[in-house]
Amino acid sequence: MSTYRDILSAVSATFTDSETPFLDACLLLAHNLGLSRESLLTRLSESAPPLPASFYEAVRRRSEGESIAYILGKKEFFGREFIVDSRVLVPRPDTEILVESALECGDVIEQEHPGRLSVHDACTGSGAVAVSIASERPGWTVSASDISEAALEVARANAVKLLGKPLLLTVSNLLGAVRGTFGIITANPPYVPSCETDALLRQGWKEPRLALDGGLDGLVLIPELISQAFRLLEPGGFLLVETDSLQVPDVCAMFEKMGFVAIFVKRDLAGRDRVTGGRKPLA
């Protein structure tokens, strides 16, 4: 009889697009057996009983390129487990830098001007950034928007699950339909060039094009986003935008052209430029 290790080794060999095939196999099997990954790893040398059909269905989906997060219906982000599915982009660890930057900027504003701080997250998708900020700073007023009503359904579910209450969510193309003024605006907009988006989708990526495709150079949405944010920010407020590291110099130039000051860049976990930030002048 095959051991759990034998099964996992055979299954992981089919995950040719994965950098962590054995881990992927462990996560799928543990989920379908109702075990923690740690518990499964202690049983690797044991003989495995007949496995549920749901496990082999999950293996088929992963072999065809679907992400582990979509198959399991969840993804950990900033220490919390978020609901995810094909309506939204899967939250990446690098985007945690956007949350950390917002918390740092908000703390600066509160030190300078104590009072209730309003934060808005544009292109929110699953709501991972907005919900994480609201969880870490429950005294702040946090809202979010996205062009996709389907994505906002997922964000709403995550807010209720993790905050115990809904966030104010607005259907909006970037910030066009958002009302109010804010101390901080965050955004992880679509920034993958169209040709690269096409290639990813041909390779079997299941994430929505709307959340990926940033136009010819990946930057087609950024100037309008920066302009809208400048209008909605309070004097002294911060805009924080995630993009690819190669796009950061151009984004910094856009911030400067719009009139932002104290422009800075935050690096991701791999040491690559990831988040561009700037402050609206006080006067």
* Residue 55 confidence (pLDDT) above 80: yes
Q: What is the pLDDT of residue 190?
A: 96
* Residue 165 confidence (pLDDT) above 80: yes
User: How far, in Å, CA of 146 to CA of 126, rounded?
Assistant: 10
Q: What is the pLDDT of residue 60?
A: 94
Residue 268: other Cβ atoms inside 10 A: 18
What does the chain come to in residues? 283
Query: Residues 56-67: what's their mean pLDDT?
Result: 91
Q: What is the pLDDT of residue 116?
A: 86
* Residue 134 confidence (pLDDT) above 80: yes
Give the largest CA-CA distance in the chain: 74
Residue 148: other Cβ atoms inside 10 A: 18
Amino acid code (one letter) for 277: G
* Residue 18 confidence (pLDDT) above 90: no
* Residue 115 confidence (pLDDT) above 90: no
- Tell me if 197 sits within 8 A of 209, measured CB to CB: yes
In the predicted model, what is the mean pLDDT of the chain?
A: 95
Cα 195 to Cα 209, 210, 212, 233, 245, distances in angstroms: 12, 14, 11, 33, 18
Query: Residues 258-273: what's their mean pLDDT?
Result: 96
- Tell me if 83 sits within 8 A of 158, measured CB to CB: yes
Extents of the domains making up the chain: 4-65, 93-279
Percentage of residues in the chain with pLDDT exceeding 90? 90
Q: Does domain 93-279 have CATH number 3.40.50.150?
A: yes
* Residue 201 confidence (pLDDT) above 90: no
Give the residue, 125 or 63, on which the prediction is more confident: 125
* Residue 205 confidence (pLDDT) above 80: no
Nearest Cα to 57, choosing from 11, 91, 90, 18?
A: 11
Query: Residues 60-73: what's their mean pLDDT?
Result: 92
Sign of CA dihedral 41, 43, 44, 48: negative
* Residue 17 confidence (pLDDT) above 90: no
Q: What is the pLDDT of residue 283?
A: 75
Q: What is the pLDDT of residue 29?
A: 94
Query: Residues 126-131: what's their mean pLDDT?
Result: 98
Flag the least confident range among 44-53, 145-154, 159-168: 44-53
Q: What is the pLDDT of residue 163?
A: 98
pTM of the model: 0.93
pLDDT digit string, tens, across residues 219-245: 999 999 999 999 999 999 999 999 999
Q: What is the pLDDT of residue 204?
A: 72
Nearest Cα to 72, choosing from 40, 32, 130, 17?
A: 32
* Residue 247 confidence (pLDDT) above 90: yes
Query: Residues 132-151: what's their mean pLDDT?
Result: 98
pLDDT band at residue 65, thresholds of 50, 70 and 90? confident
